[in-house]
Structure 1
Amino acid sequence: MISTMNRHAATALMLAACSLSASADQPQKQTPDQRPNIVVIVTDDHSYQTLGTCEKDSPMPYPNFRKLADEGMVFDRSYCANSLCGPSRACIYTGRHSHMNGYLFNEHAAPFDGSQPTFPKMLQKAGYQTAIVGKWHLEAIPPGAKGDTSKYESDPTGFDYWEIFPGQGNYFNPDFITPGKDGKRVVKTEPGYATELVTQKSLKWLDQRDKNKPFMLVVGHKAPHRCWCPSIQNLGRAKQYADAIDPPANLEDDFADRPEFLKMTEQTLLNHFNVWSDEHLIKEVVPEDIQKMLSCPESKTLHTQYDWEMPEWVRMDPQQKEAWYNYHKARTVQLVKDIKNGKIKTQRDILLRRWRHYMEDYLGTVLSVDESIGQIMDYLKQNGLDKNTLVLYCGD
């Protein structure tokens, strides 16, 4: 059975895990290999408007999301228990709300309590092999923390194998953490693009597992989290779709009639979008007067665009930098040209162009996730696992 979920997999997984764990304590009528395998794919900040499960829910076609939906079902009435990355994942793993599992914020004073019941532990007890690759994000290093930060670290529990990003992780040449023989964490930088690396590592684990036991694998992607970096080969592939869609009705929402806590989120494209880190403009080709015109002066909690450079730039190798620079330089030069020739005059004109740049990068980042799903589905089919594997997809 193959299924796709829009938001929250916790309830289904916890119920399945409880059932399997209970049955593991009793004489088994089924052999272990007859029990269903489980693959849980979790992304970060994937909007339902770009899910790709049908023609109406994405401006860009995502064939593998569509296939996953066509072969299973889409849960369009499930809800996120906590809108923050780490706390949402804590809810998924435990099936408990944040005030019960104790992990309320990304920058929490203490890491996730791994001693509490989770669905991986229940499946592990039931005889499943369990693994997680990619984003864990249940560490809690607060801003300003100095010295030894090990007290804030959180190792995955309930997993026979884990290889995770530190914190949020990076798109290009990311670090991965694995447990060392001496019990200490081992951090290694891997060349490549995060979504592709997570997929490759997940498939490698599937190849090396014990084929006589059922498995549960969590595939944790960083994508499509801010700062929305498509892979090098996918640069520009979403442009035609971003250029063709109409802007949303709430694009110019200033939150004036919204609750105070919403105003504090600083999520508007016009006033809080970083033109270098978020929009990926190349600063050196933007004249100073136009830099000021493009600025987002209202941002208070984030760095201003004058001192927050593209964070992924320092992770890239020379070839990646060249391709990234050339593509975004051309995009920046076109923007400057349109401002100089009067095609872009007002703040609303700037907003609309910024939104199209954002959508191009966002859709391009999701494209790699779609490709990842296709590779995983192909692997399951090629290895005769597709008829007995439950595939769950959800955004955190």
Structure 2
Amino acid sequence: MRVLVIGGGGREHALCWALAASPLTTELYCAPGNAGIAREAVRVDFKADDIDAAVHFARQQRIDLAVIGPEAPLVAGMTDALQKLGVKVFGPTQEAARLEGSKGFMKDLCARHGIPTGAYRRFTDSQAARAYVRELGVPLVVKADGLASGKGVTVCNNHADADEAIDALLDEGILGEAGSEIVIEEALSGHEVSAMALVDGETALMLPSALDYKRAHDGDDGPNTGGMGAISPNPWLDEATEERIRREIIQPTVDAMKAEGRPFVGLLYAGVMLTDDGPQVLEFNVRFGDPEAQVLMMRLMSDLLPALVAACDGVLSTFDLRWFTETAITVVMAAQGYPWRYKKGEAIAGLQSLSGDQDVMVFHSGTAVGEDGHTVSAGGRVLSVTALGNSVSEARSRVYSAIEQIDWPGGFYRRDIGSEAVAPQPMRSAD
């Protein structure tokens, strides 16, 4: 098959790496890709959100399958445009992608179909929003309705913080159209977990659990980021709780989307809070997480390509995937200053020394090829160093030993990814 992957981050490198290993892949392209992806696929020079360019390339190169990595092109309708050409697309249509593209739509869907989530209301008027803050009580969460690159969520512990967030979004318009409507919801307490599934419109094939680390610095300190590391499986998520999440959240959401005439095909990612009242949805993503994709692809034993095609063809009910039992850990190396201001174009050396270790993979996120032909930094999150191990301790040892061989003075990383999972306390079952 002739395959086109859309995107240029660590998630897309992991997907390209897995797809390149498939004997069914005859040609593999990635737009725009990065320096690491160039070793797995032919890079194509157009941006991930350029729908016209994607359609033109797919027609020109007779693409059989498109795999869309980021959320923005999905929300903008790239799947719909490519499907009109007869291309199979792993990724939801524009209507189905509203699960991530509109926080209000997602909450309303849950309310209509009895999918457990926190209390909420939607607002376009700041005065009405402030009144609801007093009614709901704190702590609470203020969210921009649209996509905001992780900048649209504010946890508020007092009325003043909530008023400030409301004013910034509705009155000052700091996020533009993405913040022209907001959702105010109760702040749920408990243990936050992620659940992911391949979905074909009817069937949800659950993937192994993973735990990601959002804070920039050790000890879950510092600002929120796109993700500084991940571990799979999640050491605190037991099988009974996973099954309850599938039964009460994932499958009902798939059924609800089909019932409303917008069947979901692609990767459904639920952020879930395990509360005293059971699992409740915090949010949905409509694509693989980053860096969760990196740990999952390292653990995947089966061929990825047939699984994605099965989702597109609606036959996941007869499909299964096999996974390595080892633990996978990803540690993200980011540019100093991320997620705020950071430098680009810094040389990164030592990557070649890791190429022979089958238990270690360096997935590129924000990299480019410098004038001298060597790898340079080109983003905030730059590398996702990933390792397998027979235990959490072994995986941690391998991943941090690998990082020590990378020469990049301008980078930083968390040193505690997976540390609390070396001897975790079992989570109380949600059943």
Considering the TM-score relative to the shorter chain, is it more than 0.5? Answer: no
Q: Which has the higher helix share?
A: 1
- Which one has more relative contact order, counting CA pairs under 8 Å at least 6 apart? 1
TM-score by length of 2: 0.28
